[in-house]
Structure 1
Amino acid sequence: MRAVVTTGAGGPEVLSVGDVEEPSPGAGEVLLEVVATAVNRADTLQRQGFYPPPPGAPDTIGLECSGRVAALGEGVEGWSVGDEVCALLAGGGYAARVTVPVGQVMPVPAGVPLVEAACLPEVAATVWSNVFMTAHLQKGERFLVHGGAGGIGTMAVQLAAARGAEVFTTAGSPEKLELCRSLGAAHAIDYREDDFVEVLAAAGGADVILDNMGATYLGRNVSALATGGRLVIIGMQGGSKGELDINALLRKRASVTATSLRARPLAEKAAICCGVVENVWPLVASGAVRPIVEATLPLEEVGRAHELMEAGGHAGKLVLTL
């Protein structure tokens, strides 16, 4: 089958489309015919050799997809061949077909085109699991997400606003700031001109912060927390080692949690996907939350898609179609 292959770790030039062996579904798995997949920052790290797939996952890059059910493994119920679905993957999305544990297969939200549905599973699962299942963001609380115009950011802004939080976010251009406001951010902060710590301090502090920067923002994030605040770190774009002021945490009775999604046990990922279908998909179907797609490219332009991801100028998601 057609799939993206790599010629070793490196830049986007190591990516090309070739032929690989087609998978077959095992017990409890679904085989999907992939219509589209989406590019995530983790994909670029895997390409560079820094983020290998967990044991048992395909070597092919790709953490989410949309498509149609092609075959069912032993014991799988609730799906039929031909059903249109989207799925959260541990790998393998950049391919014509992929096998998925049944618990990570989700229906396409009503009204969403199949191609656009490819960009929903990873961000929806990331935001739902971290902001709501882990940090327990409540209606009326203050929520800060960094990079509100990115893939995760656009989902976090919309979902938090739709569930009644007061949303703060950072972005680095007038266009991205305006996008964040249009998605429900009450406070869009230009990180080139303003200090988010000062903005949050004036408002009373953030109850929940979702951060993908890691080390470089650690101290400032703690400073921006309210009493009882919860900081959830999901990335290391700003480095992996920082200094944590435990005294500041104690004074605020605050917490810092670091999580990842890809290597979680299947039961945990299935529970997250159930939560997404129950709580997020109705908001998507109603139009309160929508996929934000910057560009759609054919699979053969995967190198170009990775260049766009690493350049950082895009808003929302980059989709690859098969």
Structure 2
Amino acid sequence: MSSGKRYTRDSRYITTRITADGGDGYRVEPGRYRLVVSRACPWASRATIVRRLLGLEEALPMAVAGPVHDERSWTFDLDPGGRDPVLGISRLREAYLARDPGYDRGITVPAVVDVPSGKVVTNDFPRITLDMSLEWTAYQRPRAPELYPPALRAHIDDVNDVVFRDVNNAVYEAGFAGTQEAYEEAYTRLFDRLDRLSARLERSRYLVGDTITEADVRLFTTLVRFDAVYHGHFKCNRQKLSEMPVLWAYARDLFQTPGFGDTVDFEDIKRHYHLVHDDINPNGIVPAGIVPAGPEPAAWLTPHGRADLGGRPFGDGTAPGPVAPRDAVPAGHNPMS
């Protein structure tokens, strides 16, 4: 993950796709695959949110790994007996090695596993959510929103590119910087972009168009972790999210939208960053409270006033229904739970 003194993300993903026509070797089939996530991980949280917004819970069942892992990979320690009840494995690494016994890259989430073979199909997180929108249409719920509408795709792609570079990944570049120079470069780029996004969102309820899109999902997963871990743990401390009025209101607006906040597990987020990153936190001390150094959990449910900007959260679609009990965030890990 690092190159010299500057953080570099290993982007060598398994890019096999699951498509409606099976053109890449894997065809969309309800119940055939298992989406493996950890609620701690922002990249996996994207998939959790999009799956729920589109109503793919029955077609694409989900396995939830625990928040703490070692160099051997994510574990299913939240399940009885420490094994995923469908895949029958204790570590996600087993599914990667089933695909490629010589696999030497990151064991990452989200990952989609082919249940019959036990093999990972893909861990290409940017593509996974787009394909949920584009390839799984036959199994989306009635009146699911369009998160990647054709007329806006080029604009969404542009926004996603800068948000990934300057926000999603920049917090990691700051947190894992090996020199003062590398840290300050990432820090400056991050807050410059947040200022630009704030100016944009002062005039518009959502990032692209007047409805929620893939772009909002990708920004939200960083913002919701900002005060809990990035502000202190990663030294992204010019301001807390709760001290940036526009972005804080935008994040609360999304949090209170069905499909967003009801997927967030603040306790898993806190435990993951403070226990796994032992180079940053060698004593393994986990801050007290669900959201250390940030707003109290109930603050996420306070009025945000964003509806005054107009917009239609789900466009011509509708909100998802209640969270299925098997997918619910544990009680006490979220102000909604």
Structure number with the higher strand fraction is 1
Which TM-score applies when normalising by structure 2?
Answer: 0.30
Which TM-score applies when normalising by structure 1?
Answer: 0.31
